[in-house]
Structure 1
Amino acid sequence: MRNQLIRKFDRSGSFFPTFFSNYLNDDMFNFVEGNLPATNVSENEKAFNIELSVPGFKKEDIKIEIEKNVLKISAQNEVKSEEKDENEKVLRQEFRTSSFSRSFTIPENVDTENIVAAQKDGVLQVTLPKLDKALEDKVKKIEIK
């Protein structure tokens, strides 16, 4: 019962739905620590911004795709190290792989043609600009004559 009550509130403690509770996956903040990067999501008048902590990943390791209204950010890398003796005999070989995949359902007012991403100092920033014009209502009213 307590968990059901907590789920009715978004992270800011508000009972009313927000961009975060409506458009991002419910499990966005429920993850096993270490498997998914820390994520910040913000909104301003012109865009939605997503920041992911991705230390150790190069931009070549990261893939960003959008399909329908889902933005998917994934990455995979492998680090290998090897020690050999003077006869080129392997004494020790170690490797580490890491990967993640995050999906975000985005609102209809995002200009998907102009999404940009940049990586600096271990932080991936994805900017999702909003459309300039307001979306028309999906329901068209027909006047009866």
Structure 2
Amino acid sequence: MTLVKFNPKSNTSLMPGFNDVFDSILNDTFFSDRMMTKVPAANISESADHFHVELAAPGLKKEDFRLKLERDVLSISVEQVSDDQQQERNYAKREYSYSSFVRSFTLPESADQNGIEAKYTDGVLCIDIPKREEAKVQSRQIEIK
């Protein structure tokens, strides 16, 4: 009688190829793309007198965006109706189709909510949030005696 040790971490199984079928299905880009959320990437930065939010959203128009400020939460949303005017094209893969999304950002207490400005150029939504006067970095030269 021969004893064979069972190692569940090894790739060998009683039914070779059985696990490969599920791995190929679950690791397919068609399914993995659908499982990922499709929201635009955001960059958040800070300067001496402003906070800056940049949202990469190419292919949209500035009329597609809705910015809403409720309490300390800034929400950026897009609701886009897909029109199938280009029916003559057969896409093998179509990745940049934001139909709708919402991104929300909690503003710090030092943000001045009354002076928020937004502009959309070259596929990037840029939002500038000014800081309150007391929160701005103050620097001065100190005299040495």
The TM-score bracket by the shorter chain reads 0.5 to 0.7
d(CA) in 1 for partners of 2:102, 2:39: 7
CA drift of 1:117 comes to: 0.2
C-alpha distance in 2 between matches for 1:108 and 1:120: 28
Aligned to 1:106: 107
Question: 2:71 aligned with 1:61, yes or no?
Answer: no
Residue of structure 2 in register with 1:23 after alignment: none
Match of 1:123 in 2: 124
How many angstroms apart in 2 are the aligned matches of 1:97 and 1:38? Answer: 12
* Alignment check: 8 A CA contact 1:47 1:128 kept: yes
Is the Cα–Cα contact under 8 Å of residues 36 and 100 in structure 1 kept in the other structure? Answer: yes
Give distance in 1, aligned partners of 2:85 and 2:119.
Answer: 32
Q: CA deviation at 1:82?
A: 4.2
Instruction: Give the share of equivalent positions with the same residue, in percent.
Output: 40
Number of residues of Structure 1 aligned to a counterpart in Structure 2: 95
Q: How does 1:30-49 map to 2 (within 5 A)?
A: 33=36, 35-49=38-52
Q: Does 1:73 align with 2:76?
A: yes
1:82-135 C-alpha deviation (Å, 9 max, x unpaired): 489xxxxxx9xxxx7611100101101111000000000100000010001249
Gaps of at least 5 residues in structure 2 are 1-34, 89-96, 137-145
Greater share of strand residues, 1 or 2? 1
Q: Give TM-score scaled by structure 2 length.
A: 0.58
Alignment correspondent of 1:138: none
Hey, which bits of structure 1, 4+ residues long, moved more than 6 A? none
Unpaired segments of 5 or more residues in structure 1?
Answer: 1-31, 85-90, 136-145
Say if 1:83 and 1:116 are closer, same or farther in 2 by CA, change over 3 A.
closer
Higher Cα radius of gyration: 2
SS at match of 1:133: helix
